[in-house]
Amino acid sequence: MDRLDFEAARSVSRRRLLTAGISGGAALIAARALGADVDLRLPGGNSARPLTSDFPQKGEMILQRARPVLLETPMEVFQHNLYTPNDRFYVRWHWSDMPTSIDVDQYRIAIGGHVERPLSISLAQLLRMPRVELAAVNQCSGNSRGLFEPRVPGAQWGHGAMGNAKWMGVSLRHLLDLAGVRGGAVAVRIGALDKPLVEGAPAFEKALGIDHARDGEVMLAFAMSGEQLPLLNGFPVRLVVPGWYSTYWMKTVNTIEVLTAPDDRYWMAKAYKIPDTPRAHVAPGTKDFPTVPINRMNPRSWITSIADGASYGYDPVLPVEGIAMGGDSGVARVEISGNGGRTWEPATLGREDDRYGFRRFTARIGVPRPGRVRVMARCTNTAGETQPMEANWNPGGYMRNCVEPVTVALT
């Protein structure tokens, strides 16, 4: 990774970004050349989304929204790659006034609050610091929200609001140690360069408990899978919080503030709250329930080699492949059913680079005769948590976690 030095960072200049298709200021990043639609098969209807290749540094993506930018990764990408290619990695921004160019010479990360030595860290300094690297899944809190029944407000994602990368950067603990965290610190709040268009709207910020922030795995990443971060994925530096939902994975980080009390600002005290119940589940229509900030991810798995609703030529053996993740733990096992969940057989697991990343699985299902086959995969993580058969529900559309059936016709 020696090529990821300061000179490499400087090569991503304002001129280069402009020629890639990003105009300066708060201008809309518009997808002009839309391709054919993809059907996300959402039960609430209105499930067609256009495909676009018109966003800078991105290949063909599913367009969920142009402002702020929401791009979903097509499911077939996960079939072909354990690590999601950077140009197919999903995108989710909260505010429309997002950075459209970065002056890497002027870029700074300010570290302050309850510290001994407030600092202003340049990209050049960051790139000279000791590095950490790990594989981890970045998954939107609302991934698969479009499958909630009854439907809830928010981006109607299919399953592609996620991606797996090998992240490289500097541990947040190292930066906090440089600044000297003072006694009595409780939390660390991270801020970024994207800003609201409406005056008085809250800046997007998220906070981690001090022990979590200093666990050595949380990092300020400047590289994903051996390349610089695309601008749409947080160039030049983003927070990586392995095992937790991506609402904490702040993009274009510019402030780190050590707090002496829990963060009481909007994005921690009011937004991204989930029911304080098992699996964050409440019955539809429930109004009053205790809540907590969303946090760690659950185990999930997806079949990627066959598409729901598709037809294939009959063969007495149906090969099945897919991906699994353990959430904040490793994948212990994946089981496959070809009869709607009546019986289960173990799948063969592929390599594990890190416990926070995807693992591939393969299996072969016997099919006695032509017809419809309902195939299921379920993951159990190393903490003993297994995907349930029934989907959870909450009014935010967060943390979907259940077995995801795929039904195909073999003719």
Q: What is the tens place of the pLDDT at every residue in 2-16?
A: 334 434 444 433 323
Q: What is the mean pLDDT of the chain?
A: 92
Q: Please give the average per-residue pLDDT across 312-332, as a whole number.
A: 97
| Kind plus residue range of the DSSP H or E element containing 374 | strand 371-381
pLDDT band, very low/low/confident/very high, at 351 (cuts 50, 70, 90):
very high
Q: Please give the average per-residue pLDDT across 98-123, as a whole number.
A: 96
| Kind plus residue range of the DSSP H or E element containing 371 | strand 371-381
Residue 32: other Cβ atoms inside 10 A: 9
What per-residue confidence (pLDDT) applies to 28? 32
Compute the distance between CA of residue 109 and CA of residue 120 in angstroms, rounded to an integer: 6
Q: Please give the average per-residue pLDDT across 43-60, as a whole number.
A: 96
Q: Please give the average per-residue pLDDT across 165-188, as a whole number.
A: 98
CB 307 within 8 A of CB 291: no
CB 17 within 8 A of CB 101: yes
Cite the beta strand spans of 61-141 per DSSP E: 61-66, 69-72, 91-92, 108-113, 119-122, 132-139
Is the predicted pLDDT of residue 132 greater than 90, yes or no? yes
Compute the distance between CA of residue 292 and CA of residue 278 in angstroms, rounded to an integer: 12
What per-residue confidence (pLDDT) applies to 238? 98
DSSP 8-state class, residue 18: H
Compute the distance between CA of residue 252 and CA of residue 207 in angstroms, rounded to an integer: 15
Q: Tell me the C-alpha to C-alpha distance, in Å, between residue 57 and each of 21, 87, 91, 92, 173.
A: 9, 6, 12, 15, 31
CB 396 within 8 A of CB 140: no
pLDDT tens for each residue of 213-247: 999 999 999 999 999 999 999 999 999 999 999 99
Q: Please give the average per-residue pLDDT across 286-290, as a whole number.
A: 94
What per-residue confidence (pLDDT) applies to 36? 85
Residue (of 214, 208, 210, 188) closest to 293 by Cα position: 208
Looking at per-residue pLDDT, the higher value among 75 and 7 belongs to 75
